[in-house]
Every structure is written in C-alpha cells, then in structure tokens.
Amino acid sequence: MNILFLSTWYPHPVDNGSKLRVNYLLRSLGRSHQVTLISFVFGSAQTEASIALTEYCREIQVVTMDPFAANRASSLRTFISLRPMANRPHPVMSKLVARSLQEHSFDVVIVSTGMMMDYARFIPKGTVIVLEEHNSLTRWSWEKYRAAGNAFQRARRWLSWYKIRRYEAHTFSRFDLITMVSDADRLATMDGIGALDKRVEVVPNGADCGWNIPGLATPRPNSLVFSGSLTYSANYDAMRWFLVHVYPLLKSQQPQVSLTITGSTYGVNLDQLALDESIVVTGFVEDVRVPIAEAVVSVVPIWQGGGTRLKILEAMALGTPVVATTKGAEGLEVVDGEHLLLADTPHAFASAVLGLLADADARARLARNARYLVETQYDWAAIGDRFVRLVENVVEKRNAPPVRGGRSDG
C-alpha cells in the first residue's frame, strides 16, 4: 500500500512518548508498505540526524514550526472561536499536505493525533482515513474541568471541554478507523461520537523488549528515576508535586536518596521546581535505558493526562520496579503489588518507595512479574503488527467488491 502519515511529532530523537509511539508505528508500517511522512519539526527535533527514518519512510517532508506555540499566540482568538486551540490548521502545513495529495495517489492516510485532523479535508473522497490518537482530548479536558479550583477556572475549562467534544463529534465521522491507546479513551471516544458501530480500536503503547532488557546497568543504592520530558505539562506537574510533597519525606527517612530526571527541558523554567544537590536533571539523553537501569526505583507520580505511560512500560521491561499513582498507571493491565506499587497520597507514595529501597526480594519479585507482563502484552513488535493489520483490513474492506444478492440453488 501507499501510505501518507501526517504527524504532529517528528520522531527523532525519541525523547517523549508521542515520538516513541510514532517511531515504532512507522517502523511496522514501513516493513511491508511504502510510507510518506509529513511532520512538524520543533523543539528538540533533529531532521539532519534521523537517517534511520529513511529506512522505513520512502519520503519525508517537514514544516519547521511549533504548532502548539502558534496556537497559543492569540488568547482572545482562542476564546471566541468554536474551534479548539489544539486543532487550528496552519497555512504552510495545509499547502504541503494538499500538494502531496495532488502529486501522489495514496491508499490510506494516517492522521497522527488531533492536531493533524483538520488537514483531512484535503484527502480525496474514497481514500481510507485513519486517526491514530495518543490521548482522548475530550476525556482529558473533562478531567481538567473537574479539577478546577474556582468558578472562573471551571467556566473556562468547561468551555474548552465543550469545544473539544463538539469538534471531535463532528470531525471523527470522517475517519474509517480510529485507534486509541487505552480502553478508557476508546469508550470516551465512542460516547463522544455517539456511534456504537464506528470503528474505534485500542492500540496500546508498548516497549521494545529486544532493546530494553534487564541487567544493562548496576543500580546505584537509594537511587530514583523519573523519565519523561518536562516540556509535557503532565510530567512537569508530576515532578512539582513529588518534589514538594514526597521527596522531603524520603530524605527525612533516607538521607542518601537521590533522583535523576531525564527528558527534554527545552523552554522549561526549572526554577519553579524544588531542586537540590541530590537531584540531577539530565535533559535529553541519547540512551534513556541507562539512567532507568541505574535506578533502584522508577517513580511515576502522574496526576493528569490521558493515554498510557510509556515510562512505566520501559521501566518494567528494563527490570526497574515502579511506584506510581493510580492515574499514572491508568489504562495498563497492571495489578498493585504484583507488577508495581500504587500510591495516591504523599505518605503512601514515600512509604512504598522506602519499602522497595530496603527490600531487594520485593524488588526482584515485582521486576520479574512486570517483565513477563510487558513481554506478553506490551511488546512493540506485536503492537505494531496489530496496528498494520487494522489498517490493512479497513483498506481491504473499502476496496472489496459489493456483495451481490442472488438465488441459491443448493
């Protein structure tokens, strides 16, 4: 098949979860099909160092622009518009997509995340269109509304939720297939579009079990890790909560504790985080496996956002035990006490971390169970194959000749 893949995130380097997901899905598609990638390039993206992408993308075209920053440029325009801020199209990208669709014939167009949905209007009638979504924005915006602290904030967030829900209910009808990363996101999407027969499938996040293997490094005593770009608001919020409410409790009981925070800090104000000499903020690292494998415990104190946490799956694959909030582990088929530890208050979170720091047998048991779970349910190889089959099936269904009625003589 000839595939056009429209991506918000240029998948190199793979320094956040969205880039990682796009990278592995492109690999799976490119093994058996011809893929053209059109993507925004912004932040830490590096087009000149992404030779590996050409192994599974026949053609790569980019627009150098931060679509998130461009959408934030006019708060008044955002407030009065019925279109959600995250879905506002950009003229340069619109021209590039339209030209590519005019010059080439594609069997299917894959739209990766809601940021790219509006460009589907250029796709010729009869072409199969797939939405590959990383979060249910409707569900996330509803959670933000529920968490609002005052009347003005609640009114503003309700309006944002209403715009997103209205826009998605209208726009989702264009797609022949919609994939979400968790069942909660799938159900929220089906509720929003009001069509139980609409094709909404779960394609979960995963980990590369051949790349992420236990024993890559010797864990440093009393060391913790948080792997995730601080440019993502949910990660920044997680670290702010952890450093204010949990880390002081840990240090009071274990003064030798240390924390490594990995991931991009591009444009992030670190002065607002309660950092000290025991905390290392690495920024982007070439091989995130090393700091994760060197840690005794991976902490995932996430309180907001949708989708599922690649950082949990990667730590599990690497054999590093995880302590997470219930929200952080949302959408994953994990059991508290069997695959990881869950804690939702500062004291419970600190207690869980301290317990693992002191108990090697408990760490080994969690690591063993977690690795097996990732191998059997969350390996990117199997997940990518499932995504490819879903895309192939919907194209085959569209191209199948109509069934003709007739008399049976049997």
C-alpha–C-alpha distance, residues 87 and 42, integer Å: 17
**370 and 384 within one domain:** no
**166 and 284 within one domain:** no
Whether residue 404 is contained in a domain is answered as no
| Segments forming the whole domain that contains residue 54 | 2-206+380-399
Whether residue 324 is contained in a domain is answered as yes
Whether residue 213 is contained in a domain is answered as no
Nearest to 219 by CA among 279, 321, 278, 296: 296
**248 and 122 within one domain:** no
Whether residue 110 is contained in a domain is answered as yes
**228 and 187 within one domain:** no
Burial of 75: CB neighbours in 10 Å, binned 0-12, 13-18, 19+:
exposed
Q: What percent of the chain has pLDDT over 90?
A: 63
Under a CB-based contact definition with an 8 Å cutoff, are residues 137 and 84 in contact? yes
Whether residue 168 is contained in a domain is answered as yes
Q: Give the pLDDT confidence score for residue 138 in this predicted structure.
A: 81
Instruction: Report DSSP letters for 324-377, one per residue.
Output: E-TTTTTTS---BTTTBEE--SHHHHHHHHHHHHH-HHHHHHHHHHHHHHHHHH
Q: Give the pLDDT confidence score for residue 153 in this predicted structure.
A: 86
Q: What does the pLDDT look like over 276-311, one tens digit per residue? A: 999 999 988 889 999 999 999 999 999 987 777 899
Any residues with CB less than 8 A from the CB of 312 and at least 6 apart, and which? 298, 300, 322, 324, 328, 329, 332, 334, 340
**389 and 355 within one domain:** no
Whether residue 147 is contained in a domain is answered as yes
Which pTM was predicted? Answer: 0.85
Whether residue 36 is contained in a domain is answered as yes
**228 and 177 within one domain:** no
Q: What does the pLDDT look like over 21-61, one tens digit per residue? A: 999 999 999 999 999 999 999 988 888 867 888 899 999 99
**187 and 316 within one domain:** no
**288 and 171 within one domain:** no
**137 and 12 within one domain:** yes
Residues of the chain with pLDDT under 70: 49, 72-87, 195-198, 402-410
Q: Give the pLDDT confidence score for residue 408 in this predicted structure.
A: 44
Domain count, the chain: 2
CATH of the domain at 123: 3.40.50.2000
Backbone angles phi, psi at 347, to 5 degrees: -65, -40
Q: Give the pLDDT confidence score for residue 213 in this predicted structure.
A: 96
Any residues with CB less than 8 A from the CB of 113 and at least 6 apart, and which? 7, 8, 9, 18, 132, 133, 134
On the question of a cis peptide bond just before residue 214, with omega within 30 degrees of 0, the verdict is no
Residue 148 has what DSSP assignment? Answer: -
Which residues in 160-176 are b (16+ Cβ under 10 Å) and which e? Answer: bbbbbbebbbebbeebb
C-alpha–C-alpha distance, residues 201 and 196, integer Å: 12
Under a CB-based contact definition with an 8 Å cutoff, are residues 395 and 1 in contact? yes
**156 and 94 within one domain:** yes
Q: At 245, list the tokens.
A: 């409410």
C-alpha–C-alpha distance, residues 14 and 211, integer Å: 14
**386 and 365 within one domain:** no
**253 and 157 within one domain:** no
Q: What share of the chain is helix, strand, coil (3-state, %, to 5)?
A: 45, 15, 40
Whether residue 275 is contained in a domain is answered as yes
C-alpha–C-alpha distance, residues 270 and 28, integer Å: 37
